[in-house]
Amino acid sequence: MTSETAPAPETDFTTAHPNPDILRRAYRLLRTGDELARLYEENKAVTAKYVHATARGHEAIQLAAAACLMPQDYAAPYYRDDALLLGMGLTPYELMLQLMAKRDDPFSGGRTYYSHPSLRRAGFPTIPHQSSATGMQAIPATGVAQGMKYLESIKRDVTSNGQPGNQPEASGVQGEANRRSSLLMLDSPQAKPLTLCSIGDGAMTEGEVSEALQMAALHQLPIIYLVQDNDWGISATGREMRTMNAYEFAAGFKGLHRLQTDGADFLASYATMQEAADYVRQRRGPVLVHAKCPLLGHHTSGVRREWYRGDDLAQHTLQDPLPRFHAQLLELGFAEDELQQLADEARATVQTDYERALAAPNPDPATFADHEFAPPAVTAETGERAPAGAEKALMVDAALHAVDDILREFPEALFYGQDVGGELGGVFREAALLAKKYGDTRVFNTPIQEAYIIGSTAGMSAVGAKPIVEIQFADYIWPGLNQLVEELSKSCYLSNGQFPVQSLIRVPIGAYGGGGPYHSGSIESTLLTIRGIKVVYPSNAADMKGLLRAAFLDPNPVVLLEHKGLYWSKVPGTEEAKTIEPAAGYVIPLGHANIFQAADEQKLANGETCVVITYGMGVHWARTASRQFPGQVEILDLRTLNPLDWDAVQAAVRRHGKALVLTEEPLMNSFAESLAGRIQRHCFQQLDAPVFTLGAANLPAIALNVELEKQMLPNPDKVATALVELLGY
């Protein structure tokens, strides 16, 4: 951005009482918001090409909210908050660049809707990417606040450029995150950062909002929840949606301080927001502000007010904050001529900026695929995989040691989830003693809140913390999928690379003998339909240690699937999951498959071989089955399912001409079937047989009875039967 399009914010709304300059600026920006809404309506053939909503009726509380923010703060606006953005120092031109999806849209480069900001700019509060902000933003915003509180607890030296003294110099996105995290150790209470989460009252009924409020109150996090209540959802009224307003609802969260204000009155709103900010900065605890506002514009440009508002619009117009503030300023001694001049300035700015935005260039179509992921941190295998004198380790212990190494080396790292803290250290003991070693501010239990566990990592990452979290069983991940899809997976792409989410999500997976329908499921195919996340699935202890570290270091969301049946190598045929334990610091780059077992060269030359392409438990089923076919079976362990090592897959298929894709999942519509189809499309001329597939029965759950489970799942005997047919084709 040039200085013309990235101005320094106009200050200062941060004194105890508004001075004349603050009042003038507030009036000019209130007029600016009104002019934006008017211009958008008058030019709706152009401005409504893409859906937008404006702040009309909400401007007073939004400008008051902007008043309490400092550059070290973080903000999570919602889709009606264009006045809040103006108050933070964004220009009408910048907002219009997003309105029209232009190339120089500072938030997303034309990728996402109006008033959906992502901003990392010196001198401004940081605005991490978030979804359409209809409740989902409460969890990532609370994660920001929890990250703030955690980083404040870190005791360490900071170099003059804000880097941790015991860490190497960082650059780019991570360097900025480290520099920003150093702000969190300022001693002055007035300078302590806070998070502002803006939300509509209709969204307060969502379960994810309750999860966020619970954690904010439980951990006393530095966050303001600003609830803008206009008594409407889209066409549903408050009385249809709720039995109480947000202020009344918040009374159920012990430790959540509550305030109410007239959101259409700038002076009242200003006083309330200053009180809220002072409370959070001084006490480091949460506040909920309930602000009653009129809705004077459309719900959005796609849902017009005349379709459903009726007489209600006339009633709301009586509460318009603009004429009210105008009258208050006259009572305070401002001249009508001065106010008219401010109004004229606002109109002229909006008109000029509109004409500039119309002429601004569109994005280059060639950039459409940029920023799916941030560049990986690990690009080569490094460290000792089998150090001399090292003993064999169970896969569960390799994972534990990898996390231990990370927590010791990276003070920004923390680990949380259900039952991973305290005495237990995870239901599989995969975090045993870590809480005792590192303290319960770094390794701690969460409530049963999968959405919070996953979604909070987006906020943690934005503030510079580095979270490792755990979902207790793969079957429990479904409540967290909304956050994984909407907040984590889209962040890097829709923020135009500004906010990749560094998040490692550990998920024990798979059947292991009598786990039943809620502890045995395989979910990788569902995860692999989510773009913007990486999915890793190790089959042995050495790979677990190397991949876990690489997943932690990766600047993108990574789901690490850990098969419970391989943890202790107790399941017959899984002895080779126990390996020599690599040295600390060993890493394997994501997206690199491994030839777990090679075929005999002479049999390969004679055309007597095939390849089994698999991962996780499938590696060991294939290994056991292959003993019936000495030298004839190559086993390609994918290790990472996304990014897929497609080059290794093609090379293996072309080498043998016969392939079996093996999975533990139900086969129909699975990743395995998709991969088989892809192989047939691209390797057809080299194939000597159709690509075979083998997976679990196409049933909705794993039965509890172990004999029923055996019937449903693949096993070495079923693999051997498939290999007989494939090799004899």
Q: What positions carry a catalytic annotation?
A: 519
What residues contact 703, with CB distance under 8 A and at least 6 apart?
516, 517, 709, 712
What residues contact 625, with CB distance under 8 A and at least 6 apart?
633, 716, 717, 719, 720, 723
Instruction: Choose among 728, 631, 93, 35: nearest CA to 360.
Output: 93
* CB contact at 8 A, 561 and 535: yes
Count CB neighbours of 727 within 10 A.
Answer: 17
**Could you tell me the maximum CA-CA distance found in the chain, to the nearest angstrom?**
98
* CB contact at 8 A, 277 and 68: yes
Task: List C-alpha distances in Å: 703 to 513, 525, 571, 572.
Answer: 10, 20, 18, 20
Q: How many Cα atoms within 13 Å fall on the side-chain side of residue 487?
A: 35
Q: Where are the beta strands (DSSP E) in 537-620?
A: 557-563, 579-580, 594-597, 610-614
Specify the amino acid at residue 427.
Answer: V
Separation between Cα atoms, residue 396 and residue 569, nearest integer Å: 9
- Both tokens of 139, joined, read 């969890």
3-class DSSP string for 357-378: HHHCCCCCHHHCCCCCCCCCCC
* DSSP letter (8 states) at residue 631: T
Count CB neighbours of 705 within 10 A.
Answer: 11
Q: Classify burial at 396, counting beta carbons within 10 Å of its beta carbon; exposed 0-12, middle 13-18, buried 19 or more.
A: buried
Element (H, E) at 694: strand 692-696
Count CB neighbours of 466 within 10 A.
Answer: 24
Concatenate the DSSP letters of all residues of 424-470 into one string: T-STTSTTTTHHHHH-TTTEEE--S-HHHHHHHHHHHHHHT-EEEEE
Separation between Cα atoms, residue 441 and residue 302, nearest integer Å: 46
Whether omega before 643 lies within 30 degrees of 0, making that bond cis, reads yes
Residue 681, classed as helix, strand or coil, is helix
Instruction: Choose among 293, 309, 295, 206: nearest CA to 249.
Output: 206
* CB contact at 8 A, 50 and 101: yes
Residue 710, classed as helix, strand or coil, is helix
* CB contact at 8 A, 623 and 576: yes
